[in-house]
Chains A and B, each alone.
Chain A
Amino acid sequence: MRSMIQRYAFRLTLLLPAFLLFVTGCNVEHPFIKKIAFKDSLSIIIEFAGEPDPDWATDPGNYSVYEKRDPDVHLAISKVILGPDKKTVLIRFGEEINQAEPHVVVLTPIHSQGKDLGSAILNVKRLHIGELFAILIGAMLISNYVFTKYLGLCVFFGTSKKRDTAVGMGITFTIVMVASAMMSWFLYQFILKPFELDFLQVVVFIGMVSLSVQAVDTVLRKVNPALFKAFGVYLVLVIANCIILAVPLTLANNEYSAMESLMLALGAGTGFLLALFLMSSARERLELADIPPTYRGLPIAFVTAGLFALAFMGFSGLVIF
């Protein structure tokens, strides 16, 4: 049983990043611009979908670049070079730029074949492995969804009576969390945002969650009945967990990229698993303790959770990178 779970989890962890590498990379919001990235420590490269007018493209006055953190300090552009295919532009700077910081590039209205295509504001960000790790640890420990954000408590108290139940719930939750967060990210970036349907966030995300729970349920029932028997009961409970909705909302608000979203979802899932495991271990002990009758059951569980929350406050000063 256990080896089967491990095998499936292993396959999932292998497949997901491979899929994600296809969809990540660019952070572009203008239809005429295909790609923007750091070239080296002195230049940024922009790839256009068509050919911009050479006069417009090579004029440094049409570009302004600044670090996202301080928008008032514009970086000095030494020159702009149009590539041999007339579609790529290389912006060279006088001094080295700090690639760890996200940068913003503002273009004046783009001219192409005599047409005005409107101005563009572009974000340039390096896919920084340390940043991803920071998001993972942040969601798991520093701002643990149960102990420092107080979400998902109904399910947390409901399933933390026994250790087996707690671990089963935690694993099921992590899998559904990652799957639904990735789908929500995709829907938000490619459907809700382009069509300006932001106000539908809640409806779409909750629909997405119920759909993915139903899908996991159906697939698991047919493909692996043994696994379904072990984890099927927890699937329904996943919908009642606020965290599963809080994560898509967070990643939509913060404009996370696909990789960052994966890390946030993974961190939230494993953080919930960790919280459940800790709590169930404590509650199994509480069964044997001599507790005043009025405190038996939920009240003492809440007080215990409060102690855990105080302990987790110790992580709040932790800064990664």
Chain B
Amino acid sequence: MAATKKTNKELVINGILLENPIFRLALSMCPAVGLTTSVKNGLLLGSAVLFVQICSSCTIAAIKNIIHPRIRIPTYTLTIATWVTVIDLILAAYVPAAYKEMGIFVKLIVAFAIITMRLETFACKNTISASFWDGLGMGIGFMFGMVSIGFVRELLGAGTILGYDVLGFKPLLFFVLPAAGFFCVGIMMALFNYIEVVYNRFKEREQ
């Protein structure tokens, strides 16, 4: 694949909608299931992933010409691990309470498939600025997925949004249970599929 011909705006939109990491590519499902009981968690982990994705994409794009192809995967892993250590220490120092709640997930960003996959398919073939925009799109897409699942679960489970009481009652307490993460993600994926089916039917009818 040659360097991308998409504009910056298209790259960002591609990450958020067409190739949304959670709903379309179905990568990095662990935090989407385990850490989405509230919108706040989704926002925090989403911004951590955004940071790591942008930084490692730019780093790899900058040094792509001096990486030997046979050791590229270990190089990617170590680059990501370095940036994860940076964000891990920053979060531990500045937001200790929220960091404790997220627990091991911040360190596990290293193993999130989405970041390695973007480095492998995009950053190693494109310029630094294109990689920046692609990383931004992917990071925001991930954050969007996390926040939307967190929104549904927090609203239905606890009747609150970002800790503020909006409903005044708890419609479905089941949704804050850890196991409900699986149901919620499954149902939202089906919803995305349904929207796609309806959209395609609509398009056919127009032609």
| Interface residues, chain A, with chain B CB atoms under 8 Å away | 147-154, 157, 199-203, 206-207, 210, 239-242, 244-246, 249-250, 292-295, 298-303, 305-306, 309-310, 313
Contacts and interface: CB of A to CB of B under 8 A. Distances in A.
Given A154-B26, A244-B111, A292-B190, 7 more contacts: A202-B81, A206-B78, A240-B113, A245-B108, A299-B186, A306-B182, A309-B178
Interface residues of B, number: 41
Interface string B167-207: 00000000001111111011101110110010000000000
B181 A298 contact: no
Contact of A309 (B27, B82, B182): B182
Contacts of B73: 210
B107 interface: yes
B74 A203 contact: no
Contact of B110 (A147, A202, A303, A310): A202
A242 B30 contact: yes
B3 interface: no
Interface stretch (B42-50, B84-92, B124-132, B138-146): B84-92
B179 A242 contact: no
Given A157-B26, A241-B111, A302-B185, A250 B85 contact: no
B104 interface: yes
A206 B110 contact: yes
B183 A306 contact: yes
A299 B189 contact: yes
A299 B1 CA distance: 31
A303 B30 contact: no
B186 A300 contact: yes
A147 to B, nearest CB: 8
B88 A303 contact: no
A239 B81 CA distance: 13
B179 A313 contact: yes
Contact of A298 (B26, B74, B110): B26
A165 to B, nearest CB: 17
B28 A302 contact: no
A41 B84 CA distance: 47
A269 B133 CA distance: 38
B206 to A, nearest CB: 22
A191 B123 CA distance: 34
Nearest to B186: A302
- Residue among B104, B108, B190 facing the most chain A CB atoms (10 A cut-off): B190
Given A306-B179, A306-B182, A151 B193 contact: no
Contacts of B194: 294
A153 B36 CA distance: 15
Interface in B3-53: 26-30, 33-34
Contacts of A151: 30, 34, 108
A207 B111 contact: no
A61 B89 CA distance: 41
Q: Which 10 pairs show the lowest CB-CB distances between chains A and B?
A: A302-B186, A306-B182, A150-B34, A309-B179, A299-B190, A153-B29, A303-B186, A306-B183, A294-B193, A299-B189
A241 B177 CA distance: 24
A199 B82 CA distance: 10
A249 B107 contact: yes
A302 B85 contact: no
A154 B193 contact: no
A202 B107 contact: yes
